[in-house]
């Protein structure tokens, strides 16, 4: 058997083992606990709902098609990647380029000329004295009344500066990231994060690009794209939001209170897809957090479980580049799958999370992606996920440089999720 075939076989075996033999030894050394499986009634009800709507969406594990994942460690020309150096110099750029061309599109490179930062709000005694608040207007071109995004940042007052910081790409109503803290939401539990000694920042994705199909006339597309026909690999909206996250990082590099070498980019759902892409495009992010990101995020496209490529392109035609449509009902033709997007985070920290009731996002596909990215971490002499067995509910796996958990409940970003991300950061960023 050639080396390549043997690797593909082992990838397949990994998926098979995880699907079929999910168990895990309980923490107290007692009976092995079952790994997560989707609740059978929920599966049946979800499937019935799709059938009533006449949609080709699958929730049955046994109906997941056979698939072979592209090997992250084999170049397009068949050459095996056997060193971290070859990964860095050859394979990583190749995979990044494949994602730009086929999935997210190509964003303008680097920091825009003329961009300005204006700290328009400063409060040294925010959160009853626990934090210093800053709000920064990031004006992309520096032109008067030019398009800008607002960044809100809280830095704990009693922590040693500069502080490691979490940056949320907020894809929900901006009240979720209320700078006044009159409204407090678990989606962005700023007080809790500050209490753990971390900086916490956020921006609203709609400041960068509206979340609607506007023919790319508004937002940063309207600002930077040349008039005329859009290439099929032009950046779409997820890439625009990811680009926005990089502009926040540009600001962090100028702020002495933020440790720009320890910034985690965090996103939920469409924001989670964006965080993964931001981490791929911008290696300044030391940690990448994908919360319930599903299709086009952490979930493997080839599993066709829950939301599919065809479905997401139909519902959200502005999220991905036009080339992505070539893979509607044709996932096997993709030169990549989402485990390779995760691999682009290597050797940095990566958190992947799913929720029990969130079958639309394919929790098992999200887990298997993390499994599939692990060989790239191993190339760096690191442990990736450190297991191929899906854990039980609410039993986070934090053995290596990829963290995974599946929690009780539905689609959402909760305090429990944030706690796992902070635990992971504590472990790796020396707070423990
Ligand atoms: C829809 C969409 C998902 C997305 C989610 C969200 O459900 O189909 O792909 O992740 O919205 O962003 O909340």
Please report, for the domain that includes residue 198, its CATH number: 3.40.50.1820
Q: Per residue in 26-38, is it b (16+ CB within 10 Å) or e — as a string?
A: eeeeeeebebbeb
Q: What is d(CA 218, CA 222) in angstroms, rounded to the nearest whole number?
A: 5
Residue 10, in any domain of the structure:
no
Residue 49, in any domain of the structure:
no
299 in contact with ligand 1, CB cutoff 6 A:
no
**Tally of domains within the chain:** 1
Residue 126, in any domain of the structure:
yes
Residue 215, in any domain of the structure:
yes
Q: How far is CA 277 from the centre of its chain?
A: 7
What is the distance in A from the centroid of ligand 1 to the CA of 292?
Answer: 9
Q: Give the model's pLDDT for residue 28.
A: 52
pLDDT in tens, the chain (432 residues): 333 333 443 444 344 333 433 444 444 555 667 899 999 999 999 999 999 999 999 999 999 999 999 999 999 999 999 999 999 999 999 999 999 999 999 999 989 999 999 999 999 999 999 999 999 999 999 999 999 999 999 999 999 999 999 999 999 999 999 999 999 999 999 999 999 999 999 999 999 999 999 999 999 999 999 888 899 999 999 999 999 999 999 999 999 999 999 999 999 999 999 999 999 999 999 999 999 999 999 999 999 999 999 999 999 999 999 999 999 999 999 999 999 999 999 999 999 999 999 999 999 999 999 999 999 999 999 999 999 999 999 999 999 999 999 999 999 999 999 999 999 999 999 865
What is the distance in A from the centroid of ligand 1 to the CA of 175?
Answer: 19
Cis amide leading into 317 (omega within 30): no
Domain that residue 283 falls in: 116-428
Residue 16, in any domain of the structure:
no
Q: Give the model's pLDDT for residue 194.
A: 98
Q: What is d(CA 312, CA 307) in angstroms, rounded to the nearest whole number?
A: 7
Cα distances (Å, whole numbers) of residue 147 to 138, 236, 293: 9, 17, 28
Q: What is d(CA 146, CA 6) in angstroms, rounded to the nearest whole number?
A: 55
* Cα distance from N-terminal residue to C-terminal residue, the chain: 46
Residue 6, in any domain of the structure:
no
Residue 334, in any domain of the structure:
yes
Which residues does the annotation mark as catalytic? 269, 411
Q: DSSP secondary-structure letter at 188?
A: S
Angle at 320 between CA 361 and CA 175, to 5 degrees: 65
Residue 311, in any domain of the structure:
yes
Q: Give the model's pLDDT for residue 228.
A: 86
Which atom of ligand 1 is nearest the CA belonging to 273? 10
413 in contact with ligand 1, CB cutoff 6 A:
no
């Amino acid at each position: 058997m050639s080396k390549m075939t043997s690797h593909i076989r082992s990838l397949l075996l990994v998926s098979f083992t995880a699907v079929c033999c999910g168990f895990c030894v309980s923490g107290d050394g007692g009976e092995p606990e079952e790994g997560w499986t989707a609740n059978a009634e929920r599966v049946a009800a979800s499937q019935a709902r799709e059938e009533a709507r006449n949609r080709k969406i699958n929730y049955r594990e046994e109906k997941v098609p056979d698939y072979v994942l592209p090997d992250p460690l084999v170049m397009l020309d068949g050459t095996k990647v056997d060193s971290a150096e070859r990964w860095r110099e050859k394979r990583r750029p190749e995979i990044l380029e494949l994602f730009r061309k086929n999935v997210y599109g190509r964003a303008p490179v680097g920091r825009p000329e003329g961009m300005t930062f204006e700290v328009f709000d400063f409060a040294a005694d925010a959160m009853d004295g626990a934090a210093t608040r800053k709000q920064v207007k990031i004006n992309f071109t520096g032109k008067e009344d030019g398009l800008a995004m607002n960044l809100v940042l809280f830095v704990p007052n009693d922590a040693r500066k500069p502080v490691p910081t979490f940056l949320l790409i907020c894809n929900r109503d901006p009240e979720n990231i209320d700078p006044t803290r009159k409204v407090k939401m678990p989606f962005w539990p700023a007080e809790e994060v500050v209490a753990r000694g971390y900086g916490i920042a956020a921006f609203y994705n709609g400041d960068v690009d509206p979340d609607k199909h506007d023919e790319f006339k508004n937002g940063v597309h309207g600002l930077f794209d040349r008039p005329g026909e859009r290439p099929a690999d032009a950046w779409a909206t997820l890439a625009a939001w990811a680009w926005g996250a990089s502009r926040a990082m540009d600001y962090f590099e100028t702020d002495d209170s933020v440790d720009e070498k320890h910034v985690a980019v965090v996103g939920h759902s469409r924001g989670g897809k964006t965080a993964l892409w931001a981490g791929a495009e911008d290696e300044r992010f030391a940690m990448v957090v994908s919360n319930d990101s599903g299709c086009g995020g952490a979930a493997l496209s080839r599993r066709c479980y829950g939301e599919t490529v065809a479905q997401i392109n139909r519902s959200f035609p502005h999220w991905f580049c036009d080339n992505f449509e070539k893979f509607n009902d044709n996932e096997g033709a993709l030169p990549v799958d989402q485990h390779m997007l995760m691999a682009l985070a290597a050797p940095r920290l990566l958190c992947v999370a799913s929720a029990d009731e969130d079958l639309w996002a394919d929790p098992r596909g999200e887990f298997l992606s993390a499994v599939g990215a692990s060989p790239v971490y191993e190339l760096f002499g690191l442990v990736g996920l450190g297991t191929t067995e899906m854990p039980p509910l609410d039993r986070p796996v934090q053995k290596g440089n990829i963290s995974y958990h599946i929690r009780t409940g539905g689609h959402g970003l909760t305090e429990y999720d944030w706690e796992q991300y902070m635990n992971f950061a504590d472990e790796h960023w020396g707070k423990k």
